[in-house]
Amino acid sequence: MKELAEHWDKIYKKTEDENLGWYEEDFSQTLKLLNLIRTWRDSKMFVSGVGTSGLVDELLQSKADLVLNDLSSEAIEKLKLKYMDMDNRIEWLCQDISEPLPPDLKKIDIWIDRAVLHFLTDDASIGQYFKNVTSSLKVGGYAIFAEFSKKGATKCAGLEVRRYDIQDLKENLPFFECIAEQEYTFINSKGDPRPYIYALFRKIK
């Protein structure tokens, strides 16, 4: 896992945000799903594999508290510098998201994952990831996933990915109901289309 962290660290060290293959300026696809949750602006949110995403700016415009996770300490350090003044609203968690979460992590209202889950390729890691989603969320809490769809690329950032359709997500979330789903093609900074599946789930028990 150390090698994987180094892989991502290297990318964040040498690449300006705007040149990252997954860089987005427009967060409307995620916000569309968030806006289906009436209370999101007052919630506690967990962003897995946040990278250096500008989505954090959007989220911090609300009153939400954030847990920002990434495997890459380089990405986390960049964000820490940027949000020095917001530290009272942010909890930092530099760890592999396919490992159990710290037992003292307070329950959260919303889990957000864009382009992270699809990097987990073995069943044990995927199983633990979904255990983390399920155990960290309150009953009535929500999870948003944006992952490469079955029409999507098979590799990203030089790594193999596992692609998803809505059925795959549902099978991994037995205690959740699916509230919304949508296919969306993201055009990356090189102009290449990247088909994603976006989905919002609610934990019902």
Ligand X SMILES: C[S@@+](CC[C@H](N)C(=O)[O-])C[C@H]1O[C@@H](n2cnc3c(N)ncnc32)[C@H](O)[C@@H]1O
Residue 144 binding ligand X, by CB under 6 A: no
Residue 72 binding ligand X, by CB under 6 A: yes
Residue 97 binding ligand X, by CB under 6 A: yes
Interface residue with ligand X, options 67, 115, 137, 173 (CB under 6 A): 115
Residue 70 binding ligand X, by CB under 6 A: yes
* Number of chain residues interacting with ligand X (CB under 6 A): 20
Among the residue ranges 58-66, 96-104, 174-182, 189-197, the one whose residues contact ligand X (CB under 6 A): 96-104
Interface residue with ligand X, options 46, 56, 98, 194 (CB under 6 A): 98
HEC per residue, the chain:
CHHHHHHHHHHHHHCCHHHCCCCCCCCHHHHHHHCCCCCHHHCEEEEECCCCCCHHHHHHCCCCEEEEECCCHHHHHHHHHHCHHHHHHEEEECCCCCCCCCCCCCCEEEEEEECCHHHCCCHHHHHHHHHHHHHHEEEEEEEEEEEEECCCCCEECCEECCCECHHHHHHHCCCEEEEEEEEEEEECCCCCEEEEEEEEEEECC
Site string for ligand X, 44-63 (x = CB under 6 A): -----xxx-x----------
Tell me whether residue 58 or residue 168 sits nearer to ligand X (CB atom): 58
Residue 27 binding ligand X, by CB under 6 A: no
Residue 30 binding ligand X, by CB under 6 A: no
- Name the site residues for ligand X (rule: CB under 6 A): 8, 22, 49-51, 53, 69-72, 75, 96-98, 114-116, 119, 156-157
